[in-house]
Amino acid sequence: MGKKPLSEIQVKSLRKLVAGKPLHELLLNLSVDLMLRGSDLLNLKVSDVMNESGTVKSEVKVKQKKTKKNTLLLPLSDKSINAIKIHLDGRPQEDFIFKGQKSHYTNKPISVIQYSRIVKRWMEMLGVEDTLAFSSHSMRKTKATVIYNKTKNIDAVRRLLGQSSVTATSAYIGVTDNSALELARNINV
């Protein structure tokens, strides 16, 4: 089945719990907004989200490592924009956004493994018992799943995730035969 996405309530609760922690605030908000694979998210640089003038971009386009394709121009939420303003103002354009504690030695962002540990820790903070059901991939799925659940537009979700087939996207976000049948039962013509 893969990793579970977070619910909107979990994201809102986490925002309160990570407030004031730069790495966590940026990681939570940007991972939800941009729906990127961990490797693509962690390789973002300040220049990807801020203009040289110091203003925050309202939309972000990223070249995906796995597919070599660009994402759509994805909008940043007010939560992400505020976190960027607070935590990245004055940082050099070439800096990685998600610098770890050792990055001044390694000049690298945190690893995907570290990112997954952070997500698991967040789930512990929320009191979730089965933290193994969550990882960095949960963050990629979160907004995509919310969008699908609200709109049932699988093709829009496919485009937002940069996937090539509706079938793959359906499997990825967990659209099952039962959920399709539920739609058929609840919609009468």
Q: What is the pLDDT of residues 8-50, one digit of tens each?
A: 999 999 999 999 999 999 999 999 999 999 999 999 999 999 9
Residues 78 and 52 in one domain: yes
The secondary element (H helix, E strand) that includes residue 80 is helix 78-88
Residues 121 and 147 in one domain: no
Please identify, among 133, 149, 167, the residue that sits at the C-terminal boundary of a domain: 133
Question: What's the maximum distance between 2 C-alpha atoms anywhere in the chain?
Answer: 63
What is the model's pLDDT at position 175? 80
Q: What is the pLDDT of residues 127-183, one digit of tens each?
A: 999 999 999 999 999 999 999 999 999 999 999 999 989 988 988 888 877 777 777
Radius of gyration of the chain (CA): 17
Residue 136: helix, strand or coil by DSSP? helix
CATH, residue 14: 1.10.443.10
Residues 129 and 152 in one domain: no
- 29: Cβ contacts below 8 Å, ≥ 6 apart: 15, 77, 79, 80, 83
Residue 109: helix, strand or coil by DSSP? strand
User: 62 with 47: CB under 8 angstroms?
Assistant: no
Q: Is residue 150 part of a domain?
A: yes
Query: 148: domain range?
Result: 138-186
Question: Alpha-carbon distance 35 to 41, whole Å?
Answer: 8
Q: Model-level pTM?
A: 0.90
